[in-house]
Structure formats: structure tokens, C-alpha cells
Amino acid sequence: MKLRPAALLLLPGLLAGCGSSSPATTLSVTCGGSLSLAGAKSIDVVPDQAQAGVVLSYPDPVNTGQTGTIPIRPGAKCTIAPTSNV
């Protein structure tokens, strides 16, 4: 469940750029050293009651109007990081 504190620490940095005309910022997710997602505009961290882990839910950057999910098993190490589009 270490993902939630990491997501909360990331939030102020993302909000700091609100209202500016700087390049758009998207998010990437890396799990176990492999890139799992790139280009998401937002990511929700939702508890997965059935599997005792969490699920990352995001608007699909490729398929407009679709929502994607990434299930995270207990003990798995994932990182959510901002990426700038230049």
C-alpha cells in the first residue's frame, strides 16, 4: 500500500503548474522496473477489495473516452512520475 503515500506526495507538484501556459504534463507508471503506462492525464489509485491490492484507473491516452486499469498486487513496487510533453 506504499503507492498511496507516493501519489499524495506527487499531487502538490502536479498542481503547482495549474493555470500556467507551460508544456502539458502527463503521468507514467513503472512497475518492477518496466514501463507500464505513459501519457496518462490523471491516475486514480483505487483499493481492490477482492485481491487486497490496488488498481490504477486512468483515461486511456490512446483510446479517447475509454478507461484503462492496471491491477497492482500486494507487495509490488510501482512508481507514478510526471512526464513533460515538449
Tens of pLDDT, residues 1-56 = 455 555 544 555 555 555 555 557 899 999 999 999 999 999 999 998 787 789 99
CA distance 32 to 61: 22
**Predicted local distance difference test score (pLDDT) of residue 34:** 93
Residue 11 three-state SS: helix
Domain range holding 73?
3-84
Question: Structurally, how many domains does the chain consist of?
Answer: 1
Closest CA to 31 of 65, 72, 69, 86: 72
Tens of pLDDT, residues 53-69 = 899 999 998 888 999 99
**Predicted local distance difference test score (pLDDT) of residue 73:** 87
Closest CA to 73 of 56, 57, 58, 54: 54
CA distance 86 to 76: 31
**Predicted local distance difference test score (pLDDT) of residue 7:** 52
The pTM is what?
Answer: 0.65
CA distance 65 to 38: 17
